[in-house]
Amino acid sequence: MADIACRYNYDVAVIGGGTAGTACAVVCGENGLKTVVVEKGTCLGGSQSSGLVCPFMSHHIVGAGDEPFPPILKRLVGRLREKFPNCSTNGGISFDPNYLKLLYEEMAESAGIDIMYESALAYANTSDGKIDSVVLATKKGLTEIKAKLFVDCTGDALLADFAGATVFSGEDGVNQRTSLRFEMSGIDGDAFGRYLKEGGQSYSNTKDNLYIDHGTCPAFKQFLNDMVASGELTKQDISYIQAFSMPGKVGALAFNCPELGEYGDLLDPMVASKMYVDGRKAVYRLANAFIKHLPGFEGAYVSAISSMLGIRESRRVDAVHNLTAEDIISRRKFDDAIVRSNYPIDIHGKELSCGKIKLNGDERFYEIPFRSLLSKDIENLMVAGRCAGFDFTAQSAVRIQTSCMAMGEACAHAAAMSIKENTPIRDVDGSRLKDIMVEFE
Ligand SMILES: Cc1cc2nc3c(=O)[nH]c(=O)nc-3n(C[C@H](O)[C@H](O)[C@H](O)COP(=O)(O)OP(=O)(O)OC[C@H]3O[C@@H](n4cnc5c(N)ncnc54)[C@H](O)[C@@H]3O)c2cc1C
């Protein structure tokens, strides 16, 4: 390997400054730990900001109110509401991805953590079942970071894999479908809202609060089929269409599509590159069809395309407890619970594979245990976000942003307990984490 150009030493190195990683790093800093968050991109938030993914999906727990959790999300939403008082939607809390970047950086600054943008994890040095250091590719050359604890928040379990931990991917060789999200602006919301209403849209729309998907408005559904018949769109283009308004962005819609087909190994850069190329073509096919044919889109244009593929699931780490579909469906409880949620199993592009597991209708939520964030193989490694320890089906329920942020926050509190009390991370008392993270019965 080439020479190391720079070396740093931290209590905690959080690899990946996305949804889980930002929450983790900020709370580590607030707990007084010397913390760095390493991010290959140029902002915090990951899928939420670079990936244009909003809203923060609701926990869906009946009777738990509309307020978001975990604690760090509550604070974040408080800050968002100062600027956008009406950011609550039916599905959760919506936000402007650019403004989110600013808020996250303010939180990181006041927590006193170091941010390393434009730094990509390239290698992990391990010995005796522990990570000693990670090596980053930066514009200064290779950079080594030593830390007492590492948290893999890369979404793809990259650090776990580089460190030699067991990882899993997809189910029967197939991952969930990937999307390349985009935004359009310059839409006349009144005209489009009228079109949806007259076309039989089952949801009510206002100029600033529009929602559309491929199934809810008969006229829009017919329009999509007509576009395939005329060759302006492909069957794949219309396989999943969804769009909604964002607070403060008048005349704009965030599109949760196009959804891309089967390409093979998402983590192979050759494959991913092809998906970006095809994805951008699909974005413009959709936008051109809307502009040409839909009332309200006459002056519309593509105002943003996600700079990262929208990966719903790639790799997951082998954890001390791998949460299963059965845990979700039976709504299992854990003494080291760090998340409560009732967000359903939501698999894009693959049939549900949980057989005859019986839904426990008497319970209102399932839980994610802290044990699902602990690598089975590497002693000083925690994994938070969509690549933590879940089976394929369970992952589809727990991948939502609120749960990923909670995983990141829980890792931060665990790190503080471990380092301050000189306790191995695996021996941290999960019930103390539960007291901090879980607030309602
Ligand atoms: C298309 C799509 C739509 C979705 N819709 C919703 C929704 O409406 N609501 C909702 O709540 N959830 C939604 N989700 C799920 C949710 O957004 C994600 O599961 C969640 O944000 C993942 O968080 P994460 O922290 O695991 O990963 P990310 O937020 O993706 O963060 C990973 C970070 O790691 C960084 N990274 C990766 N590799 C390296 C490296 N080598 N070195 C340094 N940094 C690296 C990345 O740049 C990124 O910043 C959606 C997901 C997708 C893909």
- CB 217 within 8 Å of CB 200: yes
pLDDT at 67: 75
Residue 205 sits in the same domain as residue 230: yes
The radius of gyration of the chain from alpha carbons, rounded to an integer in Å, stands at: 22
Per-residue confidence band for 363, with pLDDT thresholds at 50, 70 and 90 = confident
Residue 19 sits in the same domain as residue 137: yes
Alpha helices (H) in 294-400, listed in sequence order: 325-329, 392-398
Residue that the structure tokens 């991952």 belong to:
175
pTM, full prediction = 0.97
Show which of 287, 305, 323 is a domain's final residue.
305
Q: pLDDT per residue over 81-134, tens digit each?
A: 999 988 887 678 999 999 999 999 999 999 999 999 999 999 999 999 999 999
For the chain, the maximum distance between any two Cα atoms, rounded to a whole number of angstroms, is 67
pLDDT at 296: 97
pLDDT at 66: 72
| Residue 28 structure tokens | 């580590």
Residue 161 sits in the same domain as residue 186: no
41 lines ligand 1 (CB under 6 A): yes
Residue 284 sits in the same domain as residue 320: no
- CB 250 within 8 Å of CB 189: yes
Q: Of the given ranges (50-64, 118-132, 276-290), which has the lowest mean pLDDT?
A: 50-64
pLDDT at 354: 56
Is the C-alpha dihedral spanning 174, 284, 242, 301 positive or negative? positive
Strands 182-185 and 167-169: unpaired
The secondary structure of 268-306, three-state, reads CHHHHHHHHHHHHHHHHHHHHHHHHHCCCCCCCEEEEEC
Q: pLDDT per residue over 158-196, tens digit each?
A: 999 999 999 999 998 889 999 999 999 999 999 999 999
Mutate to test the pocket of ligand 1, among 50, 401, 409 (most ligand atoms within 8 A of CB): 401
Count of the separate structural domains present in the chain = 2
- Which CATH number is 328's domain given? 3.50.50.60
pLDDT at 348: 87
| Cα–Cα nearest to 424, from 380, 369, 388 | 380
Residue 42 sits in the same domain as residue 118: yes
State which residues form the domain around 168.
4-172+314-437
Q: pLDDT per residue over 326-335, tens digit each?
A: 999 999 999 9
Show which of 249, 271, 305 is a domain's final residue.
305
Mutate to test the pocket of ligand 1, among 15, 40, 53, 115 (most ligand atoms within 8 A of CB): 53
How is the chain split among helix, strand and coil, in percent rounded to 5? 30, 25, 45
Residue that the structure tokens 């600033």 belong to:
208
Q: pLDDT per residue over 220-264, tens digit each?
A: 999 999 999 999 999 999 999 999 999 999 999 999 999 999 899
19 lines ligand 1 (CB under 6 A): yes
Residue 8 sits in the same domain as residue 153: yes
97 lines ligand 1 (CB under 6 A): no
Report CA(256)–ligand 1 centroid distance (Å). Answer: 14
Report CA(242)–ligand 1 centroid distance (Å). Answer: 18
pLDDT at 440: 67
37 lines ligand 1 (CB under 6 A): no
Q: pLDDT per residue over 201-227, tens digit each?
A: 987 788 888 999 999 999 999 999 999
- Residue 358 placed within a domain: yes
Q: pLDDT per residue over 366-417, tens digit each?
A: 999 999 999 999 999 999 999 999 999 999 999 999 999 999 999 999 999 9
Q: Is the pLDDT of residue 356 over 60?
A: no
Q: How far is residue 232's CA from residue 228's CA, in Å, rounded to a whole number?
A: 6
